[in-house]
Structure 1
């Protein structure tokens, strides 16, 4: 089963997806939502990609490596954007994204 082989990646993907979804929701509640637009956009992209790769791994997709490469790039971009903001949710999201990008590179 592919899931066992990718256990660490799947855990990181799920945690990143949750952190991005939380950050997305929290950014929408900030006073200056317009300033958070880039963060919100990348949170959505990253959460969706992490969820998709997690599902692809669980069904043993032949594209895991390629998807992991794309996911690592999106996670890196999201981490970079979130790190620009002092909000706790952004900082935690950036950390989860960095960890996920690292795990994705291992399987890319």
Structure 2
């Protein structure tokens, strides 16, 4: 049986993984200083997505409250990552866009 919010939870989990991967890859870039904003947004996005997923999965009354903030941080991360040509940034941007849309639809 699939939980009613399984699509949302999957989008959140995929975004966490993409953001964590992107931040780690950015830290290995030759010009890491140019990636500081990207790394910071990746970390913030991964954290808010993980927290939102946990609260929604357990049916917390507070999970719904985080959806708007989660969507906003996903949007900012998408905008930043989509500016970089690296594959990890492009994959992260796509995951963030999907997660933003899923959060906005559920909010």
Shift of 1:14: 0.3
Deviation for aligned residue 1:64: 2.1
> In structure 2, what is the Cα distance between the partners aligned to 1:66 and 1:57?
10
SS in 2 for 1:79: helix
Contact 2:56 2:64 in 1 (8 A): no
1:20-68 Cα shifts (integer Å, max 9, x gaps): 0000000000000000000000000000011001100111111222201
Match of 1:96 in 2: 95
Over aligned residue pairs, what C-alpha RMSD do you find?
A: 0.9
Name the CA distance, whole Å, in 1 between partners of 2:106 and 2:62. Answer: 11
Question: Could you say what secondary structure the match of 1:26 adopts?
Answer: helix
2:64 counterpart residue number: 65
In structure 1, the residue matched to 2:81 is 82
Which ranges of 4 or more aligned residues in structure 1 deviate by more than 6 Å?
Answer: none
Between the aligned partners of 1:12 and 1:20, the Cα distance in structure 2 is 12
Q: TM-score, normalised by structure 1?
A: 0.95
Given the two structures, how large is their TM-score scaled by the length of structure 2? 0.96
SS at match of 1:4: coil
* Contiguous gaps of at least 5 residues in structure 2: none
